[in-house]
Amino acid sequence: MVKLSEETKNPERTIPIALIIALGISVLLYILVSLAAVSVVGWEQLAASRAPFADVASISLGPVAFTVISVIALFATANTALLMMMASSRIIYGMA
């Protein structure tokens, strides 16, 4: 956040507001997804599952959805790794 805030206009005001809004949206989405998952499957089955979200998709959308969700999870993991590599290069450049 520190490296990216250098590129914003009025960062003293913009960055805290953006962080609070992003946190609020994330919490709201997390709660809504949790409620939807528990209403579809039930908490007992979710607690015992190794892939809870894929199980919810499988039950609500069919058996092909389990594979689709697993592939999406692999791409999301790769995206996170690429984002971390981008951030680390910016930090190393800033320290140089």
CA 20 to CA 88: how far, in whole Å? 24
CA 76 to CA 69: how far, in whole Å? 10
Domain that holds residue 49: 2-95
Rounded mean pLDDT of 51-56?
84
What percent of the chain clears pLDDT 90, i.e. is strictly above it?
30
The total number of structural domains that make up the chain = 1
Task: Pick the more confident residue, 59 or 94.
Answer: 59
Quickly state the pLDDT bin for 2 (edges 50, 70, 90).
Answer: low
How much is the pTM? 0.65
Quickly state the pLDDT bin for 94 (edges 50, 70, 90).
Answer: confident
